[in-house]
Amino acid sequence: MEFLLAIGALAGLCWATVICVRGGLVATALLVLLAGSCLGHPFFNLPAGPVPLTLDRMLLVVLLAQCVVYRRWGLTDPKPATKTDYLLVAFLIVLTVSTLTHDYRYRNWLPASQLIFFYFLPAAMYWVMRQTRWTAQGAGCLFASLGLFAVYLSITAMAETHQVWSLVYPKYIASPEYSEFLGRGRGPFLNPAANGMVLGLGMCAALMWWPQLRRRGKLLLLASLPVFAYGVYSTFTRSAWLGAGLGLLVVVALTTPRGWRLPVVGGAMLVSLAIVAGGWEHLVAFKRDKYVSVEDTAESARLRPILLVVAWNMFLDRPLLGCGYGQYIEESPAYLDDRTSDLPLEKARPYRQHNVWLSLLTETGLIGMGLFTALMFSWTRIAWQLWTSPRAPDWVRQMGLLFLACEGVYLPNAMFQDMSIIPMVNMILFFLAGAVFSLTPWLAAADAPRPLRVWEPEGELALAAH
């Protein structure tokens, strides 16, 4: 068995080398995302002091070295620092100072580990992607990779909920050793919210291929939508449902001709409201985990106001700097004995904050949360400018559209889960942000002729005639 594993590892190393050399920085970055998502710490790790080595971390080092070499050879597209970069640097400085001025060794170096793995490593990915030379082929590879990955996540999620364990791989996904969320579509992330978010993002990425496909391809893409939808449903996570729906709505709304936009979007919203109203009781309370009852699911919904009150009280005590990054679990119990509130605050004792912004607000104050919000807004503004650019080619505009869809998928999940501390979520977000930023030179190409638009009906006709 060990011999076969060695052969498999050697073959995988050879293929990874070929992909990195021929595919450039984009291919290596996609390998990092794939390895971190499916072959992360539960699958493989080597003890190396307080920081174990995993495949994605080793590949990230390869990516950084590759970027340095490519930059020396003139194969990258370095860009001067902008306000967006200064926002990111300021945010990282605030997180670092907040971590180091408090007990960063707490719970076996938890704050320091979160800072490194959930922010500094994604920032390194962003730095590489912002100077990558993207092409139409690279963008198409990204759309296809995310779409195929979403198919895998959908099949795996369905197999998990129906307990068809032979279709679940890697096998740690089905292991009772990781009992949390067992029985629902948690996927290789071992978290249904992260699984649903990436699945929704992959669904939107697959739709980027719509303009280039012929009739059979479009029919196949349409046939895959129910697979994506059932995969998202199999997460049994309300925020994942909302996120996938909002991401899909962003794509449909921004690609539908203006004359049809209002009735299409309005009709979709009315249908969604009718579904929610008709199945409200089931949405609030239903059995989803193997070890979680229907009452526990309903209790999860009632927990949000309690966590909000705790966050508000913590914010009032330290409004600017917070209690220290990674210190929420240590500091929050002091706020659970408040008898002035009618809510049972004690129920929040074993939980973290279930909201990215509230988590940052309690730990880093208005300064940290404000910088993160400004950074997200800046990335979104760049993506919007790319999508609405009259001079950029279609694949560039689609990259902007994909990030807007990613924001749509991310926001509902981030409002009900602290997505920042789930492995690979920030890595994927920063990867796409860096990719979008790398395309900003297209915004300055004012003298370039306006290309034909395959996203517009008249553009398709013009291309066909041409």
What are the residue ranges in the chain where pLDDT is below 70? 1-23, 48-50, 272, 275-301, 339, 445-466
C-alpha angle 324-107-240 in degrees, rounded to nearest 5: 75
Environment class of residue 363 by beta-carbon count within 10 Å: exposed (0-12), middle (13-18) or buried (19+)?
A: buried
Helix (H, G, I), strand (E, B) or coil at 53: strand
| Closest by Cα among 93, 95, 126, 137 to 113 | 95
CA gap 111, 371 in Å, rounded: 19
pLDDT score of 109: 87
pLDDT score of 13: 55
pLDDT score of 7: 53
- The residue whose two tokens read 């995302």 is 33
Residues 401-452 pLDDT 10s: 999 999 999 999 999 999 999 999 999 999 999 999 999 999 886 445 555 5
User: Which one-letter amino acid corresponds to residue 110?
Assistant: L
Q: Is the omega angle on the peptide bond into residue 52 within 30 degrees of 0, that is, cis?
A: no
pLDDT score of 49: 61
pLDDT score of 134: 93
CA gap 69, 130 in Å, rounded: 16
